[in-house]
Amino acid sequence: MKTFAITTLGCKVNTFESESYIESLQALGYKEVDFKESADIYIINTCSVTNTAASKSRQKIHQAIRQNENAMICVVGCYVQTNPQDLHEIERIDLLVGAKGKNKLAQYIDQGNSDVSISDQRDMTFESLPLKQYKHQTRAFLKIQDGCDQFCSYCIIPYARGNERWAQSSDLIDMAKSLVSSGHKEIVLSGIHIGRYGKGSDTDLAGLLRRLDSEVVGLLRIRLSSIEITEITDDILNLMTTSEKIVRHLHIPLQSGCDAVLQRMNRPYTTDDFYRRLSEIRNNFPMISISTDVIVGFPMESETEFEQTLSFVERCRFSFVHVFPYSMRVNTAAASMAGHVDAQIKKERTAYLIEKSNILKARFDMQFVNKEVQVLFESYHKGYAIGHTPEYVTVRVVSDQPLNNQCHPVLITHHKSGLNYGVLAEKAVKS
Ligand code: SF4
């Protein structure tokens, strides 16, 4: 039996796609082994969202080549689409698949096909990738959408993943049912720009949420991976009010707390717009967790502009902030802007904002001390069962056994070193 090993860089959409490649290859009779082992076939599912991700993608390719010089080396995904010339120079690569043709990857491998062209990526239709079960995790990501037409000035994704497109809602309902019957209790709706799901068609994101909520029996939690502030409709908020499945957690990318920077980034809102909508959401759900992404050191970002971001982040009371130092991506509008910020300054601003995020996160998490919460457990480490609340607060419970994929009421007893700890509440187990 031929063996394959896969490594995945980047986002939740890549994770979904990798799991689908695994399932398709196993259906063809291939056996998965760990990426550190010698395999007949290596798949590197790449990312190019930052320079670091691109460089890690290259490192993984070379690792695979070193591990078995006779192996078939397959490189797929965003880095292939944005930098095909870099990869054509690595002679040992057998198969390159960019944004198009991912749904045929297993077939290409099985047939030893090495001639897949990396074509234009702005005219694509949605390629459906089947997936019944995640082998490596309890939380299931469901890819509902791909591509982006927004072209934020710093972002390579529209070039890497192409135009906006989405899956049929009926296919997604079937896939969600299948994931739930395989045991998954939480589904994270994932995509590149999921707020644009189904725009102009019969079923938009709210419509899809409504169907998932009512039709997928046994599903405990529905989470949105990330959604733009301008795309959180009243319809979605109304659904969140009535649904027991849609969690009270929204990840809303801010990117900057300074209007001038937002404009240079080509973001479609001002800080006033952002704050107004945030307040409306909080009026409906006072305990909601709202997390965000912020890019620091965008071209021409002055000290004053960065300080505006710091104070706006504080004012928004985010539950956590993913901080990204700006990474210049060739061909994007920002790459040719003047005033690129010195690397050391970017490093310092990143550290400041991470410190701020840690304070906000601790403040948010501590609200749950002495409260009972529902925890869906996902992992086990050194005598602790570890899981998340609907608000995505990490909780650790002392346990002599893993509780993976079980949902239990937990009384949060204390917060220590950035983590919430609790004990299983003496209540009926909800599983
Ligand atoms: S909305 Fe902006 S940041 Fe998000 S994928 Fe599209 S271009 Fe990139």
Q: For the chain, give the percent of residues with pLDDT over 90.
A: 93
Q: Inform me whether the pLDDT recorded for 335 exceeds 80.
A: yes
* Atom 1 of ligand 1, nearest CA residue: 150
Determine if ligand 1 sits within 6 Å of the CB of residue 266: no
Determine if ligand 1 sits within 6 Å of the CB of residue 329: no
Q: Inform me whether the pLDDT recorded for 80 exceeds 70.
A: yes
User: What CATH class has 249-367?
Assistant: alpha beta
**pLDDT tier at 428, thresholds 50, 70, 90:** very low
The region, left, alpha or beta by phi > 0 then psi within -120 to 50, assigned to residue 425 is beta
When pLDDT is averaged across residues 170-191 and rounded to a whole number, the result is 97
For the stretch 49-79, pLDDT in tens is 999 999 999 999 999 999 999 999 999 999 9
Strand 72-77 and strand 95-97: the pairing is: parallel
Q: Inform me whether the pLDDT recorded for 393 exceeds 90.
A: yes
Distance 148 CA to ligand 1 centre (A): 6
Cα 119 to Cα 84: distance, rounded to the nearest angstrom: 10
The residue among 184, 136, 193 whose CA lies nearest residue 160 is 193
Q: For the chain, give the percent of residues with pLDDT over 70.
A: 98
- Its CATH architecture, for the domain 3-111, is 3-Layer(aba) Sandwich (3.40)
Whether 214 contacts 253, CB under 8 Å:
no
pLDDT at 142: 97
Q: Inform me whether the pLDDT recorded for 301 exceeds 90.
A: yes
For the stretch 109-166, pLDDT in tens is 999 887 677 777 778 999 999 999 998 788 999 999 999 999 999 999 999 999 999 9
Determine if ligand 1 sits within 6 Å of the CB of residue 152: yes
When pLDDT is averaged across residues 279-300 and rounded to a whole number, the result is 97
Cα 254 to Cα 290: distance, rounded to the nearest angstrom: 11
pLDDT averaged over every residue in the chain: 95
**pLDDT tier at 426, thresholds 50, 70, 90:** low
Cα 257 to Cα 313: distance, rounded to the nearest angstrom: 7
Residue range 372-424, CATH number: 2.40.50.140
Distance 251 CA to ligand 1 centre (A): 14
* Strand, coil or helix: 388: strand
Tokens of 83: 């930098």
Determine if ligand 1 sits within 6 Å of the CB of residue 49: no
Distance 140 CA to ligand 1 centre (A): 23
Give me the residue spans of the domains in the chain: 3-111, 122-247, 249-367, 372-424
Determine if ligand 1 sits within 6 Å of the CB of residue 267: no
3-111 and 249-367 have identical folds: no
For the stretch 345-372, pLDDT in tens is 999 999 999 999 999 999 999 999 999 9
The answer to whether the predicted template modeling score (pTM) of the entire model surpasses 0.75 is yes
Distance 324 CA to ligand 1 centre (A): 14
When pLDDT is averaged across residues 11-37 and rounded to a whole number, the result is 97
Ligand 1: nearest atom to the Cα of 161: 5
Computed on alpha carbons and rounded to an integer, the radius of gyration of the chain in Å comes to 22
For the stretch 225-269, pLDDT in tens is 999 999 999 999 999 999 999 999 999 999 999 999 999 999 999
CATH 3.30.750.210 fits 122-247, yes or no: yes
pLDDT at 137: 82
Determine if ligand 1 sits within 6 Å of the CB of residue 158: yes
Whether 208 contacts 200, CB under 8 Å:
no
Whether 153 contacts 337, CB under 8 Å:
yes
The residue among 32, 113, 44 whose CA lies nearest residue 73 is 44
The type of residue at 267 is R
Distance 76 CA to ligand 1 centre (A): 21
